[in-house]
Amino acid sequence: MAEQAYTVVSDSETTGEEKTSSTFPEIAIGIDIGTSQCSVAVWNGSQVELLRNTRNRKLMRSYVTFKDEVPAGGVSDELAHEYDMLSGAAIFNMKRLIGRVDTDPVVHASKSLPFLVQTLDIGVRPFIAALVNNMWRSTTPEEVLAIFLVELRAMAEVKLKRPVRNVVLTIPVSFSRFQLTRIERACAMAGLHVLRLMPEPTAVALLYAQQQQQSSHENMGSGSEKIALIFNMGAGYCDVAITATAGGVSQIKALAGSTVGGEDLLQNLMHHLLPNMDDLFSSHGIEEIKRMGLLRVATQDAIHKLSSDISVPINLDLGNGTKLSKVLDRAEFEEVNKGVFEKCEALIKRCLQDAKLEAEDVHDVIIVGGCSYIPMVRNIVTSICKRDELYSGMNPMEAAVRGAALEGAVASGISDPFGNLDLLTIQATPLSIGIQADGSNFVPIINQNTTTPVRKEQIFTTVHDNQTEALILVYEGDEKTVEENHLLGYFKITGIPPAPKGVPEINVCMDIDASNVLRVFAGVMLRGMPYMEVRMPTVDDGHGWSAQALHKTYGSNLDVVTVQKKTQH
Amino acid sequence: MWMRKLRILTPFSQKLLFTKRETITISSSYCKPEFDFHTVEQFFPQYIRRVNFRGNNLGFCGRSLFSCEAAQRNSCWNCCNAKAFLVCTDCGCVQPVDHSVDYFKIFGLEKKYGIEGENLERTYKDWQRKLHPDLVHTKSQKEREYAAEQSARVIDAYRTLTDPLSRAIYILKLEDVHVDEEEKIDDVELLTEMLEIRETVDEAADSQALKQIQEQCGVWTSGQIPIQGKFEQSSISFADALQSRKYIEALAAIRRMTYYKRANEEIVKKL
């Protein structure tokens, strides 16, 4: 049998298993790309080790500066001063921008960043540019991320004295599958192969599982099941997960996430300090950007200080006659950000409810991420979980990357003689996946928090007499109507035999495998009719447009409705 | 027959020859018409395992020759020893899905409804530790596929058995009783009850009141008990009906459980 000469990797096929298997598998490194900070860790044969850059830092700022067309990222480059990052030449917060269209409120909120974010509000990718020699140089979040990843990779290769190709990356729970493909694209641009994309709190769960297993070994205990609630809030996102761990195996019971984080706290406070901020900075001139930067740094410092102090003085001269001078106290900061804190509260409550657990059932409450130092955030978590003590066995800034490094070692097939890698995380889907049916309703086929790998099917039927074609629109999300969810892709089923409406049976099956690849199978249940197998997502940029165009062209001509399910329990 | 198979396999065997000389020597020295697999195994147990492994890597393999599909159905496809279950007890090799193994067997349980006290979670995690696709990536393509299917089946088994309603439906299916979950109900008593529950839920002022309908006793007058209690009652009557093989009654109990479960979900949604 002839060896296959070559394999063509499909465009979207950047995940999946390694094709070449050598006797000594390369240990995948773990990378935590935060909205504001980033870190790399690897299993060094006996434990997880965080890699330090040439300046001996474990945490590096996530940004890329464009200078004279040669970009440099925050891995090697050290800024002379915080203000340099705000000169217009540095692009940051790419994790908030990646894979979002210009109608997204998160993109609109990013317009107050000290670089250029332009929108047309029609559902296409936003225009992003950095200021280089008084010129706006356009870029994309993928490019910025790739430049940054190249630096991280180079740093890791120097430290490990070997080529680095395989990585495990942590991602926010609320990322859509489309956003995941953008992350994969950025990695591919940087020459990295994504072994796993792990929701951040599940990486923390893995670290927790390892710690529990170690302590049960020490106590010679039986290692009974322990339930932990993990709350992770960084600069860009807030995630909650509930995990049940026994003997190194963690089952993710529920996941909840939202695009809310330190950046929102910062922007709310900036607007509070300077209510007409948006008007002042709208023109994006060099002076405006500088002022924007000044305000940003001052506000950021104030928030940091308020974690330990009750009040903080703010004195700021923006240079155009606008002067700020006031004493900000913690209560005021908390009042301004009431909405953000309420969202955090709602996320924890929802996660407990989805896991069908009461606060009393939780053994350990773990809080990680940059915002875990904010007193109000800690208060919320402790009061909902009804306890005085939080789990203290982890460094809040390093937990996610350590978990990712563990997963990297486990997924590379490394074993440890002391059993420190006898770990397994059984993941669950963070968002529901379904199709448009019954008008513009979203009908989930795989529900949120379903254990993966999973395969589910449901039967649909036609809405018109003699309807011979049906459009299958695949969406992801947890809202009732499709407009509020993410379109993942679409395809048409043809050749439905003419029959009165409601008679033909269209089977739609969804399958998520262990590498989190989603495939949709659909077809008419008739002998001899071929089924479609479609790998999702199929839409590229501007999927907001696609949905509108589809609706305009086809209306409800090719709709489907649900048939009461028979095949499911 | 043995000879012919060997001849068909020649190109393949030549490939093996390049990697391991002994392969061919042993095969040809063992040319007898009636091939007894177990004899070979007694003589060259390690050899057989190795050949199989190599065969898998090359795609078209000596499966028809060396695997025990021809020999015994219940033994491991890889080492041919032992009575293999989901995973071979001898060589730790993942087995193909065998649908005659029901969910109860997977969890080492007797086929009965009342399994509330059992620690399913532990068995579930023990299986996943052996089967989960994340942990078998160093194995052959074939075994990885088996593992993916088996792991998914164990997840399904766990989900089915932990939920009293789906467990009830499943156990009836094993008894060849068809459960139509979407049938129209003509049980007037149940219908009125459902309407009553719906009204109380709609009228409930706050989450406190909803919780009362859901689980707390006290304010309820004669014969009225909260939904969760009702669900448990139906669950008990299902167990009784099943034991005495009264399937019509068992189906009626399932119907009630379905409706109480839905009512409970409505309440949770409103909470």
Min distance A446 CA to chain B CA atoms (Å):
13
Report the pLDDT averaged over residues B125-152. Answer: 82
Least CA distance to A249: which residue of chain B?
Answer: B125
- Domains of chain A (ranges; CATH) run 29-198+401-419 (3.30.420.40), 199-260+340-396 (3.30.420.40), 262-336 (3.90.640.10), 433-562 (2.60.34.10)
Comparing CB atoms, the residue among B128, B163, B182 nearest residue A426 is B128
d(CA B172, CA A464): 37
pLDDT of residue B8: 36
pLDDT band at B100 (very low <50, low <70, confident <90, very high): confident
Determine the pLDDT at residue A233.
Answer: 96
Q: In what side-by-side order are the strands of the sheet with A90-92?
A: A70-73, A63-67, A90-92
* Contact A424/B at CB under 8 A: yes
pLDDT at B53 over 70: no
* Smallest CA–CA distance from A349 into chain B, residue: B271
What angle in degrees, to the nearest 10, is found between the helix axes of B21-29 and B45-57? Answer: 120
Dist. CA B119–CA B107, nearest whole Å: 9
The reply to whether B200 and B266 lie within a common domain is yes
Contact (CB<8Å) A246/B121: yes
What is the Cα gyration radius of chain A? 25
Residues in contact with A488: Cβ distance below 8 Å, sequence separation at least 6, in sequence order: A176, A177, A178, A433, A474, A475, A476, A518, A536, A537, A538, A539
Residue tagged 């993916």 (tokens):
B148
Kindly report the nearest CA distance between residue A476 and chain B, in angstroms. 20
Based on the fold, state whether residues B207 and B157 are members of the same structural domain: no
Most confident stretch, A316-325, A388-397, A481-490: A388-397
Q: What is the pLDDT of residue A142?
A: 93
DSSP code of residue B265: H
Residues B195 and B257 reside in one and the same domain: yes
| CB contacts, 8 Å: A353 with chain B | 268, 271
DSSP SS3 for A265: helix
Shortest CA distance from A422: residue in chain B: B129
Confirm whether B21 is domain-assigned: yes
> Cβ contact (<8 Å) for A424 and B165?
no
DSSP alpha helix (H) spans, A412-565: 543-554
pLDDT band at A541 (very low <50, low <70, confident <90, very high): low
Residue B240 in this model has a pLDDT that exceeds 60: yes
For residue A363, what is the enclosing H or E element? none
Q: Which residues contact A26 (CB under 8 A, 6 or more apart)?
A: A162, A163, A164, A165, A166, A412
Q: B181-214: per-residue pLDDT in tens?
A: 666 667 777 788 888 877 877 777 777 777 777 7
Query: Is the residue at B175 inside a domain?
Result: no
Q: Please state which of the ranges A513-527, A540-554, B3-17, B130-144 shows the lowest mean pLDDT.
A: B3-17
- In 10 A of CB A489, how many CB atoms? 22
The string of pLDDT tens digits covering residues B149-166 is 888 889 889 988 988 889
Do residues B194 and B260 share a domain?
Answer: yes
The identity of residue A449, as a single letter, is N
Measured over the CA atoms of residue A278, residue A283, residue A287 and residue A293, the dihedral's sign is positive
Regarding whether B158 and B215 lie in a shared domain, the answer is: no
User: Do the Cβ atoms of B134 and A410 come within 8 Å?
Assistant: yes
Which chain B residue's Cα is nearest to A569? B166
Q: What integer pLDDT is reported at residue A4 of this predicted model?
A: 44
Q: What are phi and psi of A175, to 5 degrees?
A: -60, 135
CA distance B267 to chain A (A): 12
Confidence of residue A281 (pLDDT cuts 50, 70, 90): confident
Structural domain contains residue B179: no
At B83 the pLDDT is 62
ipTM of the complex: 0.70
- The per-residue pLDDT for range B61-88, each reduced to its tens digit, is 333 334 444 344 567 777 776 666 777 7
Indicate if B201 and B264 belong to the same structural domain: yes
Asked if A454 and B138 come within 8 Å (Cβ–Cβ), the reply is no
A513 to chain B, any CB pair closer than 8 A? The answer is: yes
B196 and B125 in a common domain? no
Q: Is A140 on the interface with B (CB under 8 A)?
A: no
Q: Does residue B77 form part of some domain?
A: no
Pair A243, A231: CB distance under 8 Å? no
Q: Report the alpha-carbon distance of residue B210 to residue B215 in Å, rounded.
A: 9
Query: What pLDDT, in 10s, does the model give residues A431-471?
Result: 999 999 988 899 999 999 999 888 898 999 999 999 999 99
**CA pair distance A345, A366, nearest whole angstrom:** 15
- Nearest CA of chain A to the CA of B221: how many Å? 28
How many distinct helices (H) and strands (E) make up chain A?
Answer: 13, 28
- The torsion angles phi and psi of A40, rounded to 5 degrees, stand at -130, 140
**B253 and B193 together in one domain:** yes
Split into its structural domains, chain B has a count of 3
CA distances from A198 to A171, A174, B93 (A): 6, 12, 28
**Is B76 part of any domain?**
no
Task: Indicate whether B204 and B263 sit together in one domain.
Answer: yes
Cα dihedral sign, A509-A512-A517-A518: positive
* Contact list, A17 vs chain B (CB under 8 Å): 137
Measure CB to CB from residue A17 to each of B12, B137, B165 and give the nearest one: B137
- Flag whether pLDDT at B217 surpasses 70: no
Is the CB of A422 less than 8 angstroms away from the CB of B129? yes
A125 neighbors A101 (Cβ within 8 angstroms): yes
For the CA atoms of A83, A84, A85, A91, the dihedral, rounded to the nearest 10 degrees, stands at 140
Tell me, yes or no, if A223 comes closer than 8 A to chain B by beta carbon.
no
Task: Of A36, A39, A136, give the one whose Cα is nearest residue A96.
Answer: A36
Smallest CA-to-CA distance from B85 within B131, B19, B16 is with B131
Q: Is B138 in Cβ contact with A25 (below 8 Å)?
A: yes
CB A66 within 8 A of CB A144: no
Q: For chain A, give the mean pLDDT.
A: 86
Say which range, A168-182, A342-356, A541-555, B180-194, has the weakest mean pLDDT.
Answer: A541-555
Residue A466: DSSP 8-state:
T
Identify residues of B whose CB sits under 8 angstroms from chain A CBs: 11-12, 58-60, 121-122, 124-126, 128-129, 132-135, 137-138, 148, 151-152, 155, 159-160, 163, 165-166, 169-170, 180-182, 268, 271
What the block records as the tokens of A389 is: 């003590």
- Decide if B148 and A425 are in contact by the 8 Å CB cutoff: no
How far apart CA A208 and CA A450 sit, in angstroms, is 21
CA B19 and chain centroid, separation: 39
Q: Which site among A426, A511, A515 would you substitute to test the B interface, given the most B Cβ atoms closer than 10 Å to its Cβ?
A: A426
pLDDT for the residue numbered A447: 93
Please give the Cα distance from B50 to B58 (Å, whole number).
Answer: 13
Range of the domain at B150: 103-162
Dist. CA B96–CA B98, nearest whole Å: 6
pLDDT score recorded for residue B175: 85
Identify the domain boundary among B45, B66, B87: B66
Q: What is the DSSP string of B97-152?
A: P-TTS-HHHHTT--S-S--TTS-HHHHHHHHHHHH-GGG-TTS-HHHHHHHHHHHH
pLDDT in tens, A41-81: 999 988 999 999 888 888 888 888 888 767 777 776 665 55
In a domain, B71, yes or no: no
CB A41 within 8 A of CB A395: no
Q: Is A411 on the interface with B (CB under 8 A)?
A: yes
Q: Which of A424, A514, A564 sits opposite B182 (nearest CB)?
A: A564
A–B CB contacts, 8 A cutoff, strictly below: 75
Chain B contact set for A413 (CB, 8 A): 137-138
**Tokens at A68, concatenated:** 């004279």
CA-based nearest distance B79→chain A, Å: 22
Query: Which residue, among B103, B125, B139, B173, would best test binding to A if mutated, counting the most A CBs under 10 Å from its CB?
Result: B125
Pairing of strands A226-233, A238-246: antiparallel
How many beta carbons lie within 10 A of that of residue B9, not counting itself? 19
Angle at A11 between CA A8 and CA A17, to 5 degrees: 65
- Which of B66, B82, B113 is a domain's end point? B66
Mutual angle of helices B21-29 and B10-19, in 10-degree steps: 130
Q: Which residues of A touch B124 (CB under 8 A)?
A: 251
Confidence at residue B16, expressed as pLDDT on a 0 to 100 scale: 35
Domain at B266, CATH number: 1.20.1280
Question: Rounded to whole angstroms, how far apart are CA atoms A422 and A417?
Answer: 10
**Cα–Cα distance between A155 and A157 in angstroms, integer?**
5
Nearest CB to A246: which of B122, B135, B155?
B122
Which of the two residues, A267 and A214, has the higher pLDDT score? Answer: A267
Structure tokens at A163: 């080529």
Instruction: Mark residue A549 as left, alpha or beta (left: phi above 0; alpha: psi -120 to 50; beta: remaining).
Output: alpha
Domain-embedded: residue B16 = yes
Is it the case that residue A18 has pLDDT exceeding 60?
no
Q: Do B181 and A451 touch (CB under 8 A)?
A: no
A487 pLDDT above the threshold of 80: yes
pLDDT in tens, A373-420: 999 999 999 999 999 899 999 999 999 999 999 999 998 888 888 888
Find all residues with CB under 8 Å of A163, minimum gap 6, and list them: A26, A157
Which residues lie below 8 Å from residue A550, measured CB to CB, with a gap of 6+?
A471, A473, A490
Cα torsion B17, B21, B22, B25: sign: positive
Mind telling me how many Å the CA of A514 is from chain B's nearest CA? 6
Report how far residue B255's alpha carbon sits from residue B165's, in angstroms, rounded to the nearest whole number: 10
8 Å CB contact between A63 and A73: yes
Put simply, the answer to whether B181 touches A565 (Cβ < 8 Å) is yes
Mean pLDDT of all residues in A226-253: 93
Q: Name the percent of chain A lying above pLDDT 70.
A: 91
Residue A451 and residue B159: Cβ atoms within 8 Å?
A: yes
Confidence tier at B40 by pLDDT (50, 70, 90): very low
Beta bridge partners of A241: A230, A255
Question: From CA A490, how far away is CA A505, in angstroms rounded?
Answer: 19
A16 in B contact zone (CB under 8 Å): no
